[in-house]
Structure 1
Amino acid sequence: MRTGHLKSFCLLRIWSSPARNCCPLLVFRIYGNLSQNPAIFTKITLYVIFFLTFLILCTKIVLRDSVMELLDREEVSNFLKRKNGIYSCFLCIVSGGLFALCQPPFNLGHLSWFCLVPFLIGLNGKKAKQGFVYGFIMGAVYFLCILYFVFIVQPPLTITGAILLIIYQALYLALFGLLFSIIAGRDSCLQFVFSSAFLWVSIEYLRSLGVMGFPWGLLAYTQWKNLTLIQIAEITGVYGVSFVVFVFNAAVAYIILQYLRKPFDYRRFSTPEMAVLSVLLIGIITSVFFYGMRAISRYEPLIKEREKEIDIAIVQGNIDQSKKWDPHYLGESLGVFMGLTGELKGTPDLIIWPETAITVSLNENPFLRDSISGFARSIHTYLITGVQEYEDGRYYNRAILISPAGEISGKYDKIHLVPFGEATPAFFKWIFPFLKKVIPGEDISSGSVRTVFEHPSGKFSCCICFESIFPGEIRLFIKRGAQFLVNITNDAWFGKTNAPYHHFAINVFRAVENRIEIARAANSGISGYIDKLGRPRYYTRIFTRGLIRSNLSLRNGTTIYTRFGDIFSYACLVATALLMSLPFLKAISQKS
């Protein structure tokens, strides 16, 4: 696009951007739309970076050569020490805001290579307690920006939950700040860059563990549109992409810190260690992008050949959340799904309805079960749908596969439940018995079997809702023999916020990690298909009603990640543990 058309391009795209639902500021909308044009965005970003660099240089020269000569050096030093906490706090807030803008739906992934630089500069030289505080400030700003959708789920009940969730997630970055001040050496560029990178990946991995695990907003997800870079995920998982981006951030931060050190000495940039860092940094980034290009050239022909494929139709009913759970509205709701399904021309191999498309138990409603069975027979194909099922005195969030004969040929009960949303963790029930009265409704029971559904055209598994954000759990489905993946969800809870966009982008990494194609059905969007390279295609807009149809190719191999899991994250954990032990080992050796 020529620059002469830039103004009209921005004006045409501003009001159609999904970002308009997430931030009222016009400047963010313009910036988000510019990011959709890589050529223009890159030029503007480079101009901004060069301008800011020039401004910093000029300011530095003025402050050093003029102010320091006019004022007493000790007086200036004391003034800067008093203001240092404010500056560090400001840098953390800036990093938190920039980091949030890099995530969907703004998708300013270019900024993610620099967004953590202010945060790392603010942490430099801080004691452990200070690092904890500044890390918490950065985390609170960041998670407030990307998790604000929790506030609107069921207010006022979820307001308290949202605040606690943001605090809980911010504590992980507080832990990063605390440990960073211990293991990141200021005099060693290699230790500063790589120890902090190992620590960052370790913290991100820890966020995914346990019943309270919630790996939302990882650094890697800022790169979901960077097709070449994310191919490394088939080896390292999503955390390898985070590592590469963070290493670049840390290297830039270290270079800036060396420039700001007093007295200034150009020889700091010509040390052997800096040369090694440059070689490693260039080598890592070049290798990752080279591997990505090779992977694309290797899998592209396989995707085009499509020797083994399955024809899948996705139905997006866009059922109003205020009516969806009303039993009196069930007939109209099912009528929407059946009506859209009836509009299909020809017979696909599989039809997908979203999570809890059927909001009442089929076991307790034989008439409804017979109606669904009769409908399945009339369409002469397989149908998979979500249902809120009641069985043996327990509720389940279930996916069922109905055969062309109208029989339920397979079922999967959601294993990883949303804490406090679907079930209260047993530990919290024991500690806080009053939660049973505060949180309405009965807990949903967790499933125990990772079902692989049998279909004449291929085997597949179905993950439900936010199960797709856990890479370690999705790989277990693939390891059991699934040849493609279905994800059903209901993101209507979150309204027109950033959540549906971020949730969809996460599935891109699950496709690349396991080299598997994904069909995603969401009640209100985003529904769509993702191929083995992580390219979305035929996806819907949020809060629209309709259906889409496409062919998915079957998995024809097993990736390193599918086979071995998060070995890269384990290596980062071990490296972090060793780096943390170094100060203690040095102290022991000095005493002896």
Structure 2
Amino acid sequence: MGKMLLAILSGILTALSMPGFLSGVLIWFSLIPLLKAMERKSPLWCGFLSFLYFYTHISISFYWVFPTLTENFPEVFGRFPGWVGGVVFFLMGIIEALPFLGFGILYGIFSKRVRRNPKLELFFVPSLYLLFEYLRGIGDLGFTGGRLSDALYKNVGIVQLASVGGTLLLVFIIVLVNTLFYILMRKRYFRLLYIFMVLGVIYTLDAVIGWYLPLPENGSAKIVALQPNVPVKVKYSVSEKELLEKFTRLTQNLRNALVVTPEAFFMTDISRTNTKEVLERISSERNLRILVGFPTFGKKKYNQVSLIDGKFSNQHYAKVRLFPFVEKLPYPFIFRMFSFLKALDYFDPGEKYTVFKIENFPPFSVQICF
């Protein structure tokens, strides 16, 4: 029971380090209880503890999905009762945590050998974790939400390493530091000062790198995040005309700015309606660049964001990694029974990531949801 509580504690600490929770500092300690729990345990027991850790983490981190599945979806689409949404939330956690069953099993197989050599252990554990974090993100069920690197979103200096090895490099570093602290805590001569020294080095480097990041040479860019605050239960029933009127009202005093709307601000393909001309006129008359989200329904269906710069430009981004079950049905021959979870429609994945380029603005990209 004690081992299970340690695994659950790891999951809680990891979740509390995510954006919007407590503090990213917790990520440097969050895996230590899990590693302690897996000490001298059989591979299957280690697999279960690792699974329990990640299930706890993902369930807390994505707590907001629970009311979406049990209240919003049943109210809006009426395809299933609320209790079914609760079951689906439970299954979602299981699917996301399954790869870490493998992490725990392999850790249990090799841990006795690598523990004899702390240097080998220091690189074996993060490498093994990295492997299963990568596997979690590939395939039709691939999902990268809740990645350990999310906890570093405020650490501008450290995050620059993502330009070298992506977020997986950040994951490797986080697990390496956790493993280092775990090894140090096993030593008879362990002193808490060692941990503070390591953290001091990490955050000093973060501050120094952040301090020396290049600043814009001149000028400024005004960016406005526009949130219509339309409740989910009426979002799918509000007409395109009402949303356009709301957009016009919210932007009537804006000039010379980049306006960014949420994902699927419009629930219809506005490239085929009069809304397109109205937005182009607003953009031209007020010197506004508008990034607007809406689905497109042509030969292929995309969850897309498009740039309006006086006219609808050819710069757009169609979501590449679609949300399993909600935006795409993974492996239909297995999961066809879950097609009732479909939201607006099943989309096709975008073909590439887009770097938007606007005069007098730095190049930038956008993400749709995850």
User: Could you state the TM-score of these two structures normalised by the residue count of structure 1?
Assistant: 0.54
Asked if residue 352 in structure 1 is aligned to residue 255 in structure 2, the reply is no
Cα RMSD for the two superposed structures? 3.1
Q: How does 1:93-242 map to 2 (within 5 A)?
A: 93-155=8-70, 156=82, 158-184=85-111, 185-242=114-171
Residue 421 of structure 1 and its aligned partner are, at CA, apart by 1.0
Per-residue deviation, residues 522-576 of structure 1 (Å, max 9, x unmatched): xxxxxxxxxxxxxxxxxxxxxxxxxxxxxxxxxxxxxxxxxxxxxxxxxxxxxxx
Per-residue deviation, residues 440-483 of structure 1 (Å, max 9, x unmatched): 6541222324444453335745434234xxxxxxxxxxxxxxxx
- SS of residue in 1 equivalent to 2:102: helix
Residue among 195, 209, 230 paired with 1:295: 209
Asked if residue 391 in structure 1 is aligned to residue 307 in structure 2, the reply is no
Please name the residue that 1:87 is paired with: 2
Please name the residue that 1:445 is paired with: 348
For 1:141 and 1:171, the matched residues in 2 are separated by 12
Per-residue deviation, residues 389-437 of structure 1 (Å, max 9, x unmatched): 2223x43212222232x44443332222111111113xx2133444446
Q: How does 1:232-311 map to 2 (within 5 A)?
A: 232-257=161-186, 259=188, 289=203, 291-299=205-213, 302-303=214-215, 305-307=216-218, 309-311=220-222
Residue among 226, 246, 256 paired with 1:336: 246
Q: How does 1:311-326 map to 2 (within 5 A)?
A: 311-326=222-237
- SS of residue in 2 equivalent to 1:465: coil
Residue among 333, 340, 349 paired with 1:430: 333
Identity %: 23
Contact 1:95–1:115 (8 Å) recurs in 2: yes
What stretches of structure 1 of length at least 5 have no aligned partner? 1-85, 260-265, 270-277, 468-592
Count of paired positions: 353
Please name the residue that 1:378 is paired with: 285
Tell me which amino acid in the other structure corresponds to 2:317. Y
Per-residue deviation, residues 253-273 of structure 1 (Å, max 9, x unmatched): 3344455xxxxxx7xx8xxxx
What stretches of structure 2 of length at least 5 have no aligned partner? 71-81
Residue 386 of structure 1 and its aligned partner are, at CA, apart by 0.9
Please name the residue that 1:60 is paired with: none
Please name the residue that 1:487 is paired with: none
For 2:177 and 2:341, the matched residues in 1 are separated by 46
Tell me which amino acid in the other structure corresponds to 1:353. T
- SS of residue in 2 equivalent to 1:418: coil
Contact 1:385–1:401 (8 Å) recurs in 2: yes
Change (3 A) 1:376 1:294: closer
Tell me which amino acid in the other structure corresponds to 2:307. L
For 2:367 and 2:165, the matched residues in 1 are separated by 24
Contact 1:244–1:284 (8 Å) recurs in 2: no
For 2:32 and 2:186, the matched residues in 1 are separated by 10
For 2:267 and 2:343, the matched residues in 1 are separated by 17
- SS of residue in 1 equivalent to 2:5: helix
* Larger relative contact order (Cα-Cα within 8 Å, sequence gap ≥ 6): 1
| Structure with greater proportional helix content | 1
For 1:195 and 1:108, the matched residues in 2 are separated by 27
Contact 2:143–2:323 (8 Å) recurs in 1: no
Please name the residue that 1:456 is paired with: 359
Change (3 A) 1:88 1:407: closer
- SS of residue in 1 equivalent to 2:230: coil
Residue 382 of structure 1 and its aligned partner are, at CA, apart by 2.6
- SS of residue in 1 equivalent to 2:366: strand
Residue 290 of structure 1 and its aligned partner are, at CA, apart by 5.5
User: Could you state the TM-score of these two structures normalised by the residue count of structure 2?
Assistant: 0.82
- Deviates most, 317-326 or 227-236: 227-236
Change (3 A) 1:246 1:338: same
Contact 1:220–1:238 (8 Å) recurs in 2: yes
Structure 1 segments (4+ residues) deviating >6 Å: 281-287
Change (3 A) 1:255 1:447: closer
Residue 331 of structure 1 and its aligned partner are, at CA, apart by 2.6
